[in-house]
Amino acid sequence: MKKKLLLHSCCAPCSIYVLQQLMSEWQVTVYFYDPNIHPRAEYIQRRDEMKGYAEKLKLEFIEGPYDTFNWIQKTRGLEKEPEKGKRCDVCFDIRLGETARKAKDESYDAFATVLTISPHKNAKQISLIGQRIADKFKIDFLDRDWKKNEGFKIACKLSEEEGFYRQDYCGCLFSKRNRDLKAKL
Ligand code: SF4
């Protein structure tokens, strides 16, 4: 019997290759917990696409709470941080912390995240936070840099074949604002 993995997902394009890598070895449940995503319409678009793809693969899909108030409270004062900075530390901590808590409470064997597939993410930063959270909850963290071995390139190709929507900002209000400012230059 396969071991049970709770996989934190932020969107379908970031998850497609990771799922392809994991499904033969693990019984994967997709956990969409992303209170960082702004605005709500964007959240719904990313969630629904991921949900539909999980259904296509006959995987369990769970949506976490869209507790944006908690996310804003915890990242207060870090609005001007660059991507990969201190705000992202808190953001990863919130999302991976909740994933690990749920995985432990519901007797999964491990938890993981798709976030490292992105070339805009520092895998070391995510790894350190994931390991710390794993120690706290006493559950295994499947620590992988998914962008390695052309992972990101393959993910882009697979996403294109599926016709997935690909966002051009990470997710939060502040990353969206930076995207909008760059577009004006
Ligand atoms: S840039 Fe991305 S990872 Fe960083 S705080 Fe915003 S949504 Fe979270």
Where residue 13 sits, what CATH number does that domain have? 3.40.50.620
Residue span of the structural domain in which 146 resides: 3-184
Q: What's this model's pTM, rounded to 2 decimal places?
A: 0.97
Give the C-alpha separation, 9 to 19, whole Å: 10
Provide the domain count of the chain. Answer: 1
Query: Which residue has the CA at smallest separation from atom 3 of ligand 1?
Result: 88
- The pLDDT tens digits along the chain (185 residues) read 999 999 999 999 999 999 999 999 999 999 999 999 999 999 999 999 999 999 999 999 999 999 999 999 999 999 999 999 999 999 999 999 999 999 999 999 999 999 999 999 999 999 999 999 999 999 999 999 999 999 999 999 999 999 999 999 999 999 999 999 888 87
Question: Running DSSP on this structure, what letter comes out for residue 116?
Answer: G
Q: How far is the CA of 170 from the centre of ligand 1 (A)?
A: 6
Q: How far is the CA of 171 from the centre of ligand 1 (A)?
A: 6
Question: Running DSSP on this structure, what letter comes out for residue 79?
Answer: T
